[in-house]
Amino acid sequence: LKETGTDIASKVPCYQLKHPNSTIQMPAIGFGLYKVDDTEKVTVAALQAGYRHFDGASFYENEDTFGATLKKHKISRNEVFITSKVWNDMQGYDKTIESFNKSLKDLDTEYIDLYLVHWPVP
């Protein structure tokens, strides 16, 4: 699994996100996980095709399967860039923190690379 996708992934352009102590590489092309029926099968196919940026959200209800797929197929956390989002009914400081922590737990990871407001509402 790794060899096929890694060769292709190395050709995908990346944006450099600069932090005071590091630079993070964000692949310019990502794979969305919305309405994915068989998350494991689709994730493996995307990895084989070279995708390393995955766009999910707690609302999609598949973050747990996506995270488990990465572990099952021995994909190191630093090999993928994970985006997640807070949904409308979880906006506001306390609910956003709750939603973020749920995504961390479901993904079974220590960090999320990019966390967005899915759909801003007043």
- Angle ∠(51,76,41) on CA atoms, nearest 5: 50
Q: What's the rounded Cα separation, in Å, for the pair 81 and 101?
A: 17
Nearest one of 114, 115, 73 to 91, comparing CA atoms: 115
Active site residue 60: yes
**Which residues, 6+ apart, have CB-to-CB distance to 93 below 8 Å?**
none
Pick the closest to residue 100 from 43, 22, 64, 111 (CA basis).
111
Choose the catalytic residue: 34, 51, 60, 93. Answer: 60
Strands 81-86 and 31-32: unpaired
Please give the positions annotated as active site: 60
